[in-house]
Amino acid sequence: MRGGKARVSLTGVLDDCFCDIESIDVFNNFKIYPRIQKLTERDYFRYYRVNLNRPCPFWPDDSHCSIKDCQVEPCPELAYVLFCFCIGGQYSQVANDITDIADCEQAQDLGAINSTLSNYTKEAFEDWARHDDAQDHFCELDDETSPDANYVDLLLNPERYTGYKGPSAWRVWNSIYEENCFKPRSVYRPLNPMVPPRGKECLCLEKRVFYRLISGLHSSINIHLCAEYLLDEGWGKSLWGPNVQEFRQRFDPAETKGEGTRRLKNLYFLYLIELRALSKVAPYFERAFVNLYTGDHQEDRTTKELLLQFFNDTKAFPMHFDEKSMFAGQKMEAKTLKEEFRLHFKNISRIMDCVGCSKCRLWGKLQTQGLGTALKILFSEKEIKNLPEHSPSKGFQLTRQEIVALLNGFGRLSTSIHQLHNFRALLKEKR
């Protein structure tokens, strides 16, 4: 906030549920966050199979660059600019061009995927594929079977600031909000200030939920970028850490026309939805024949034990979101709303293919699939309750891809709430 004290604070009960923010903070930061961090470091959860080469179906790809003259074409070579300078170009223009190129090259470097994998790991993936192919599937596998998909080590590719911003990022998020969300018309559009707000519009609970989920996901991603910001880049070593000013610009009510608090509340709401889904899906994994296969039996056993312990923790939360309040109307109306959710969400997944930064696309696709998997679980409560005890090929199914996305996606939300606690402490210090 410019010229005054920071006012980013959250307290009280969330809308559309009976849970207070303080309870979520304590539960997450002291119980859930340590467990989910340990769990997502296990081999089963650290590798995510994804196709980062699928073309954007809505507009031409603008690659990694997010600055003027560097959005569609590859970044020009620095030598070319220096050559123009030598034959008489004005120094001020050349200096600006060099700065722009440096910014663009930084965005390319920071947004690039680290695809380093050992030969042993590559051989293990072939074994995983044989194991997974032997299972019966009842859903579209998409990235899991695409010949263009590859495994990515998530620990080598952390979600953090990449320099990807500006019109390219605006277009992705505006497309998600404008084309997919059942959006309250009174909400201020933070990404494109040229779009004026429209009159108020009331939404039923189901459509409010959908908008709040997308807003919460957007807030979570922004917190990660602020918390893991490139503060300094020295000789072969980068300094990463929290950028308080960037955080204020995105969440301080004075900087966001009062929307910052609502964005953060939507993050907590999304956390509750996914937490509820995790508590509901536990019976699927509690069956003896369900294993988290990596080929190392001891590793698999330990990972499943950690996962079941984690599920027990999620069940212990006393103020879960009541999913029965969703789709509680007439049977046909409820069925239509569920299908509408599914189609909107499928379109959001396709929009993620338009993200012009590989690392941003990786985490965007993973968290979108994680949220989609959580909704699939909440929509399948009856199927999960009636799971066959001894038949893995019947009833409700989750693929490896969905499981990895579900746990890592929730891990990102848990990390966001933990990082938010750290930002509050930093803001108090600066008062």
What does the block give as tokens for 285? 């994994």
Q: Is 160 annotated as a binding residue?
A: yes
What does the block give as tokens for 241? 């850490």
For residue 390, the 8-state DSSP code is: S
- Catalytic residue check, 204: no
Half-sphere exposure of 326 (CA within 13 A, CB side): 21
- Catalytic residue check, 84: no
* Inter-residue contact 127 to 134 (CB < 8 Å): no
Calculate the alpha carbon distances from 406 to 40, 121, 198 in Å.
11, 22, 35
Q: DSSP for 267-320?
A: HHHHHHHHHHHHHHHHHHHHSTT----SS-HHHHHHHHHHHHHHHHHHHT-SS-
Alpha-carbon distance of 395 to 385, in angstroms, equals 10
Calculate the alpha carbon distances from 252 to 174, 195, 262 in Å.
21, 20, 11
Catalytic residue among 17, 65, 354, 360: 360
What does the block give as tokens for 425? 């402490």
Q: DSSP for 54-94?
A: PPPSSS----S--STT-SSSPPPPHHHHHHHHHTT--HHHH
Polymer length in residues for the chain: 431
Q: Is 162 annotated as a binding residue?
A: yes
Half-sphere exposure of 8 (CA within 13 A, CB side): 29
Q: Is 297 annotated as a binding residue?
A: no
Q: Is 250 annotated as a binding residue?
A: yes
What does the block give as tokens for 260? 């910052």
The set of catalytic residues is 357, 360
Annotated binding site: 160, 162, 173, 215, 218, 250
Annotated binding site for FAD: 160, 162, 173, 215, 218, 250
